A and B are shown apart, each in its own frame.
Chain A
Amino acid sequence: MSAFITGIGWITVGGEGMGRNADPFELSEGSLPKITGKKTDNDKTFRRFGRLDRYSKLGVRAIAYALQDAGLDAWKEKRDIGIIVSTVFGCIATDIDYYNTVMMKNGLLADPNLFTYTLPNSFLGHASSIFGLTGINFVINDKTNSGISALRSALDCISLVECNTMLAGICDVERPPDFPIAGNPAPGSIFVMIEKDLERQTRPYGRLSVDNSGNVFFNESEIKDISACVRRCLDAKT
């Protein structure tokens, strides 16, 4: 089964951007830049962006870039587009922030807004409401931030005609500094837009496919992580 990659968006330590802008791409360790909800085509910001926790801001921003890169950011009617994201830490940093509000005054000051973002899929709902996306969406909690599980599951959804257009990606903020968890995946969010058919005037980056064993390929060459996929897409473009 194969489908086309038509859009790429990211925010990483190396910066933020989209494939067609020729923005420099790098997924590496360090601190993420400030994440703003400012739309790129005007001065407006995404609805209720300021209420989001940092993990959600990161994911929504990267999704916005991927949709824009694919030319699918503008909409009038809701669309059957799904989102699958892989994450290592999920919203653990938000969990800690929220529980700190519970510990004050024995729960009297528990913050309802923060609690809303203690589910790692909340931002998928936020992105869906901003961009009118009604397709399947869920989070895969992974041990690494390779993102292969999200790419594979997105291709599976397309293969089974559950959705013809899918966003797949990764999302992780920095490991909470005072939380004793092993591992330190490079923080950042990357999303790719995957489309079964090319009905629009969009030049794809290439073909993404999955074999019967679940291995994922870009232009028939196996990829082991989403950042390698993005690099190959950008190389294929130039």
Chain B
Amino acid sequence: MLGESGIKPVRRFRTDSYNSSIAACIEDLEPTGNRSMVYDMLDRLFITLGPVPVDSFLITASTKAGIDNLERLRHGIPADAHDCLLSHLSDHISKRFKLTGGGMHISASCASSTIALAQGASLIELGRADSILICCFDIVTEFVFSGFCALQAMSPVPCMPFDRNRKGMNIGEGAAALLLMNSEKAKKEDRAPIGALLGWAVSNDATHITAPAMDGSGLILAIRKALKKSKLPEDAISAICAHGTGTVYNDLMELVSFKDVFRERKMPVFSVKGAIGHTMGAAGGIEAALCLKGIANGVVPPTAGFGSPEKGAEGLVSNEPAMIDGDYMLSTNSGFGGVNAAVIIGKGIRS
């Protein structure tokens, strides 16, 4: 909420060969024994999670969590190769909570956890599950860092989403866990709902695997489908948690999309990536959690790093927290493979 950035010089690996040297790392995150660093992050996450019904269905989401063990193995350092398989991490979480309801791991680049939320909500709607644990995570590794640098996508300075002087993205690491329940299960478990997932949709640009469709057609399709699912009109949305990576093309594409759907409406649009970096497969889950908090408190976070608005961002994006008046927020993510995902989050359960 202070608009500060956790994007700092990387100490985990050498960066002198790359065109950026910064990322949003959790400072003392470490591998334990032959296990990936991701276990350390998950252990910390689960301390605050509280009890999870054992009959919950588990959906995990990540892009490359565990890939640090591939790095270690290639350097001749002992490490468990199975951590490189995302289903293995899913198994670990299932055992951690003694879950009996089954599960699956979803991978869809930077939209992974948004799709996990959508799939979780779908399973509840279908009556296949009463309770779903969504768990998303990704870590900063040289593997990923070097790749985005090679693609010239990384910013040498903390990223500036929707700013006309933006220079690219910065990766970050993080994890989130969200427990979805139908209202009967929530009542039975005596859980007060924090909010509700009211609409969701996923689309593909069908244009290119790394560059977004500059007409925003894919994201527009996802937003319109999510709105239709929620049965809400466009003007019910009171704020947008954008993907806002800080790359030239992503941010432009999003502004085009939002304008197409919401026309000239002025409502807060924000990105948290200037503060916590782009947490890749975990981004959608973390951002959904922030949306829940935003709706509950009636205020959304500032866009750290934002200063001079890109054309179309005027009056929408701010580097100050913004008050919101309404019960519904839209959160969107887009990623490699042309994938787009949108979820609509509301204050509480509607009748």
**Interaction A to B:** yes
Contact A125 B338 (CB under 8 A): yes
Residues on the A chain within 8 Å of B109, using CB: 119, 121-122
Interface membership of A142, Cβ < 8 A = yes
Interface string of B141-156 (1 = CB under 8 A from A): 0110011111110000
Contact A107 B18 (CB under 8 A): yes
Interface membership of B201, Cβ < 8 A = yes
CB contact between A121 and one of B105, B205, B218, B337 (< 8 Å): that residue: B337
Contact A128 B85 (CB under 8 A): no
Q: Number of contacting residues on B, CB 8 A? A: 64
Contact B337 A140 (CB under 8 A): no
Interface membership of A198, Cβ < 8 A = no
Known: A125-B204, A139-B106. 9 other contacts (CB 8 A): A90-B86, A95-B84, A102-B142, A116-B151, A122-B109, A134-B218, A135-B204, A141-B104, A157-B122
CB contact between A116 and one of B63, B106, B336 (< 8 Å): that residue: B336
Contact A107 B146 (CB under 8 A): yes
Residues on the B chain within 8 Å of A137, using CB: 108, 202, 204, 337, 339
Residues on the A chain within 8 Å of B67, using CB: 95
Interface membership of B310, Cβ < 8 A = no
Contact A119 B122 (CB under 8 A): no
Binding-face segment, B42-50, B125-133, B256-264: B125-133
- Secondary structure at the B interface, as helix, strand, loop or mixed, is mixed
Contact B17 A107 (CB under 8 A): yes
Contact A160 B204 (CB under 8 A): no
Contact A142 B87 (CB under 8 A): yes
Known: A122-B209, A141-B86. A112 touches B151 (CB 8 A): yes
Chain B proximity of A2: nearest CB distance (Å): 14
Q: Number of contacting residues on A, CB 8 A? A: 60
* A137 vs B201: C-alpha distance when bound (angstroms): 11
CB contact between B203 and one of A95, A134, A214 (< 8 Å): that residue: A134
Interface membership of B236, Cβ < 8 A = no
Contact B337 A125 (CB under 8 A): yes
Contact A110 B146 (CB under 8 A): yes
* A4 vs B63: C-alpha distance when bound (angstroms): 32
Contact B204 A128 (CB under 8 A): yes
